Amino acid sequence: MISVATSTWSGDWHSGQGTIATAGPTIPRTSYTYASRFEGAPGAVPEELFAAAYAGCLNQAVANVLGWGNFTATAIETRVEFEAALGVRSGPPGVVRIGLRAVVPDIRPEQFQSLVKVAKDGCLMSRMLKDSPELTATLVQDPDELAATS
């Protein structure tokens, strides 16, 4: 499967404007600017789209790897933080933290940690990155705990 997205841009970096869209219905044509990307103004933020894609990819990778051990998650919730602000982070922009919480019946904590690491290392988005972001994986007993913090 080939995924397709498009972007347009006109003007200079600081005062120009553009659009981002996916070929499918996921993201309709959405405006973005320097201000939306770096200053919190209304509009799309390309790095948020990457963070969302990474979180989704990692959730599916964890579900897959859990299946190797005959485990099925009742729920998985992943938060990816991507630092794009210029001059704030030492080093290049990128994913700085991943928080993953899951409810997985009958799994031991050490099994969970091990399988999550395998999933993170094998996730397509992880393999595309040049750095290895910090990952905190928490095994949660009650599915309602995930809903309460979403």
Unique residue bearing structure tokens 């990128």? 94
Judged by DSSP in three states, 146 sits in helix
pLDDT at 93: 64
Q: What residues does 15 pair with on adjacent strands?
A: none
| Number of structural domains found in the chain | 2
Looking at residue 127, its pLDDT comes to 86
Range of the domain at 18: 5-38
Could you tell me the pTM of the whole model?
0.83
> What is the model's pLDDT at position 104?
97
Q: Are 69 and 118 contained in the same domain?
A: yes
- Taking a C-beta distance cutoff of 8 angstroms, is the pair 58, 50 a contact? no
pLDDT < 70: residue spans in the chain: 84-93, 130-132, 147-150
Quote the Cα angle for 60-149-85, to 5°. Answer: 75
CATH label of the domain that carries residue 71: 3.30.300.20
The pLDDT, as a whole number, for residue 59 is 97
Is the CB of residue 35 less than 8 Å from the CB of residue 28? Answer: no
Give the integer Cα–Cα distance in Å for 110 and 85. 36
- Closest Cα partner for 121 from 72, 62, 74, 73? 62
Residues 72 and 26 in one domain: no
pLDDT at 47: 87
Q: Residue 135: count other Cβ atoms within 10 Å of its Cβ.
A: 20
Q: Are residues 87 and 32 in the same domain?
A: no
Q: Tens digits of per-residue pLDDT, 32-70?
A: 999 998 899 999 998 899 899 999 999 999 999 999 999
Radius of gyration of the chain (CA): 18
